[in-house]
Structure 1
Amino acid sequence: MTEKSSLAAGTLGGASVRTQQSAARGLWSSRWVFFLAATGSAVGLGNIWKFPYITGENGGGAFVLVYLGCILTIGIPLLMAEVLIGRRGRQNPAGAVANLAREAGASLHWRTVGWLGGFTGFLILSFYVVVAGWALAYVPTTLSGSFTGADAAASAALFDALLTDPLRLVLYGSAVLAVTMLIVGLGVRDGLERALRFMMPGLFILLLGLVGYAAVAGDFARAVEFLFVPDFSALSAESMLLALGHAFFTLSLGCGAMMAYGSYLPKGVSIAKTSLLVALADTSVALLAGLAIFPLVFANGLEPGSGPGLIFVTLPIAFGQMPLGQLFGGLFFVMLVLAAVSSTISLSEPGIAWLNERFGISRAKAVLTTGAVLWLLSLASVFSFNHWADYQLFGRTFFDSMDYLTANWLMPLGGLGTVLFTGWVLKEKVVREAVGIVHPGWFRVWWNLLRFGTPVAIGLVFFSLIGVI
């Protein structure tokens, strides 16, 4: 069913239309599978690559405390709102928002919120597969012992050699994209569910194994102190805003993924309880990643605040100097690939669902079209590290521009549109019934956070970007 026809039918009875859409689109087989899917979407490079290095750059424990506060007060309310829109609208993000706008008697222009989310996810995916390709390339590199005995200069040289080799970047990035499209192309049950049933437990097992290795081979006590004992003198206003922005990034908010996954959620599953579990799992992975990485960094006298190179330059030095470092280093990058792919499949789903439902083309054709465009766009990110390194947009390479645009502007903007639509356009009674918060007091807390707290927090992000604060 196309978006246009579903909206026309909505005038005859929104509930029956959504029931027909549900039957046609397929649903997750259980709450557990949705939990795996949503957790897979949230858990990705943001947890294992980005969270450790921004924590290292911003003083450790105090930053973690602010980040956890942002997850609790901002991230979870917005996550619940996105899943709610997806499940009640039963279409791709743009179609779901349009369906609910019609039901509320509001302007169909609100569908821009859903469209923006899908577009943002598409842009993120175009460079995300490139970074995931780095992780894939590091699996054989680490297992082969290339980092054994390597110092900082040698490790940096190996990473630079990867970035300046467009053929390797294209091959590994294309492999990640191909696996992603294959999984998504098989559909909800045969593709997404089967992959996530294997990938997410595998990721957690690998992560726990690496934490155990770090506890034995690294300086675990110092890492625990760094992560969980706050030093507020190391915290700045910029750090607090960074923590807020990362809460969006790590939960896959503002990019259409959670709306798309929510559209496959069966009725009767509590959105509130499931969203809390997803946020808990996502946060646990980020903290466990810190406990796997920082003990090795500290034990080898390396710098925790070494920035984006922490995973690809600094950490391999530690693996190269420690017992069984080749094996556990290789497993670490296997885990990073699993985390990345669990996110790439969720980022691709909104666009594929939109093509399928808006234009009525088959899922296979939608996957091929999306994959081809993404592959071409990913080449621009690949070449920004080598052939096009001297060409810049607003003082940044193409890769950095895409990262900055999506993480700092488009994701928060999509989140703002979502909370305004949910909190000020949808009827309170409809939201209360859909979200599944039984206790009226707790619903009131969530409702006020969504309507007032979250928009203010997102406004602070925008004010900081334009230099007002």
Structure 2
Amino acid sequence: MASSSRAQFSSKFGFIMAAAGSAVGLGNVWGFPTQAASNGGAVFLLVYLVMVVVLALPMLIAELTIGRYGQANPLRSVKRIWPTNSKIPAGFGLLGLLTALMILSFYSIIAGWLVGYLVSPILDFIGFHSAATWLEAFSTERNLVLALIFIAITMKVVMGGVTDGIESWSSRLMPVLVGLFVVMIGYILLQDGAMDGLKMYLVPDASHFSADLVVGAMGQAFFSLSLGVTVMMVYGSYLPKDVNIPKTATQVAMIDTGIAFGAGLLILPAMFVAQKNGVVIYDDVGNLLNSDTLVFTVLPAMFDTMGSVGVIVSILFFALMLIAALTSSISMLEVPVSCAMEELGQTRKKAVMWIGGLALLLAAAIVFNFGTLFGLVITVSTVYLQPILGLVWAICAGWVWHRAKLLDEIRQGNPEVEHSLFWKIWPNYLRYVCPVLMGLVFWVTI
């Protein structure tokens, strides 16, 4: 096993904030509300909540348990549960590492846009109109500069280490994120038109229910908890042995789901406020317009109709989005950094510098070939690799790992777990049900 000097989260609260921060990203505050708005609102919300329980949570427990048992990076952790000396587990671990790096590269471009939209109204307010326009106008130079800024911020946090970097910043940023959500939701719900969005979001209309909606909600629940890309294995490896993993995983899932719910509570009413102010959000047949760029088109247009107060609301909104993006990006960078430190014997600073530089090079390649690579990298990493890896980890925990050793690891933070309802259900559920559900997610997404 790893040495006793291996970094650990200093508190349960710190871990929950870090893990929830990793899970809470643009998939929650952008992807979930957009999917909800495109799929009937309340019906999608209800199915999503069910899918968090039946797919995402069991998988989260599995990844955290593998990571804590291995007490190492994903390459070593997966190898330690493998019964034979094989290169297969290291190969899957390496694939997870590469997927995290691919996601970080395109994520930094999108997050860079958030930086631009955050700073732009401030510059516009103080008279730097051309700079403000440049920050919001799509261009190769702007995309590259803003991606560089975002990756640099991410590198700065990860360079601080597990306790002083990831845990410290997550413990600060997550409460700020929640506070911003409360303020923004409170403000938006007081605007004209907000109640129409609230009704769509909270009052179910069964006519929107479909098999595609179910699988879409399943995929959203899986992706929103950063599953498949070995992030939760890395964070699990920093967990003390006395932590009750099922209980802690449930708390992480609840926070993540709460943020997604809050994002819907903010974005859907905001869309209808925008509509009330003359912004077109649905086409003639009821399909959501600009779903891919909702936060960069519909909402800024709404902020522009609010006058001077719109500047404040815009800054708060994009600050919220940027915090969500940052708490996810630091976990994506930590995956390859942890591997470089343990497999190559590098210092954290050196690993962060060259891996962050590599992520920037990948982002630059996408920026210079945006039309070809942007959608392709997103599709390969999130539509293909992430579900495949999720399926692999379900099989590893359910079929490859010896049941007695799995129980021993879970028991360390919960001595009575063997006699609980959880243990009677979860191992077989992980073995038989989760792979089928993951297979469905993969099948439908392709």
With normalisation by structure 1, the TM-score equals 0.86
- Please say which of residues 428-437 and 364-373 is displaced more in the overlay: 428-437
Give the letter for the 2:428 counterpart.
N
Residue 425 of structure 2 corresponds to residue 445 of structure 1 = yes
1:309 shift after superposition: 1.8
Aligned equivalents of 2:253, 2:196: Cα separation in 1: 26
Residue equivalent to 1:152: none
What secondary structure, in the 3-state scheme, does the structure 2 residue paired with 1:216 have?
A: coil
Tell me if the contact between 1:218 and 1:296 (Cα under 8 Å) persists in the aligned partners.
no
What secondary structure, in the 3-state scheme, does the structure 2 residue paired with 1:25 have?
A: coil
Residue 255 of structure 2 corresponds to residue 281 of structure 1 = yes
1:384 shift after superposition: 3.4
What secondary structure, in the 3-state scheme, does the structure 1 residue paired with 2:242 have?
A: coil
C-alpha distance 311-218 of structure 1, shift in aligned 2 (>3 A): farther
1:99 maps to which of 68, 71, 80: 80
Residue 300 of structure 2 corresponds to residue 319 of structure 1 = no
Alignment of 1:186-265 (within 5 A): 186-265=160-239
What secondary structure, in the 3-state scheme, does the structure 2 residue paired with 1:74 have?
A: helix
Residue 386 of structure 2 corresponds to residue 411 of structure 1 = yes
Residue equivalent to 1:426: 401
Q: How many residues align?
A: 424
Residue equivalent to 1:175: 149
1:438 shift after superposition: 5.5
Q: Which runs of 5+ in 2 are unaligned?
A: 126-132, 283-287
Alignment of 1:144-183 (within 5 A): 162-163=137-138, 165-183=139-157
Aligned equivalents of 1:363, 1:243: Cα separation in 2: 38
1:218 shift after superposition: 4.6
What secondary structure, in the 3-state scheme, does the structure 1 residue paired with 2:5 have?
A: helix
C-alpha distance 449-220 of structure 1, shift in aligned 2 (>3 A): farther
Aligned equivalents of 1:380, 1:236: Cα separation in 2: 39
Aligned equivalents of 2:19, 2:297: Cα separation in 1: 30
Aligned equivalents of 1:218, 1:339: Cα separation in 2: 27
C-alpha distance 335-270 of structure 1, shift in aligned 2 (>3 A): same
2:314 maps to which of 326, 329, 345: 329
Tell me if the contact between 2:113 and 2:136 (Cα under 8 Å) persists in the aligned partners.
no
C-alpha distance 222-115 of structure 1, shift in aligned 2 (>3 A): same
Give the letter for the 1:460 counterpart.
L
Give the letter for the 1:81 counterpart.
A
Aligned equivalents of 1:50, 1:143: Cα separation in 2: 26
1:414 shift after superposition: 0.6
Residue equivalent to 2:130: none
C-alpha distance 97-138 of structure 1, shift in aligned 2 (>3 A): same
1:425 shift after superposition: 1.3
Aligned equivalents of 1:113, 1:65: Cα separation in 2: 33
Q: Per-residue displacement from partner, 1:257-294 (whole Å, max 9, x unpaired)? A: 11111110011111101111111111111111111122
Residue equivalent to 1:28: 9
1:230 shift after superposition: 2.1
Alignment of 1:29-48 (within 5 A): 29-48=10-29
C-alpha distance 464-295 of structure 1, shift in aligned 2 (>3 A): closer
Give the letter for the 2:383 counterpart.
N
Residue equivalent to 2:355: 370
Residue equivalent to 1:272: 246
Aligned equivalents of 1:161, 1:207: Cα separation in 2: 23
Residue 336 of structure 2 corresponds to residue 351 of structure 1 = yes
C-alpha distance 330-75 of structure 1, shift in aligned 2 (>3 A): same
1:291 maps to which of 251, 265, 282: 265
Residue equivalent to 1:130: 109
Identity rate, percent: 37
Residue 333 of structure 2 corresponds to residue 341 of structure 1 = no
Tell me if the contact between 2:134 and 2:142 (Cα under 8 Å) persists in the aligned partners.
no
Residue equivalent to 2:281: 303
Residue equivalent to 1:392: none
Give the letter for the 1:298 counterpart.
F
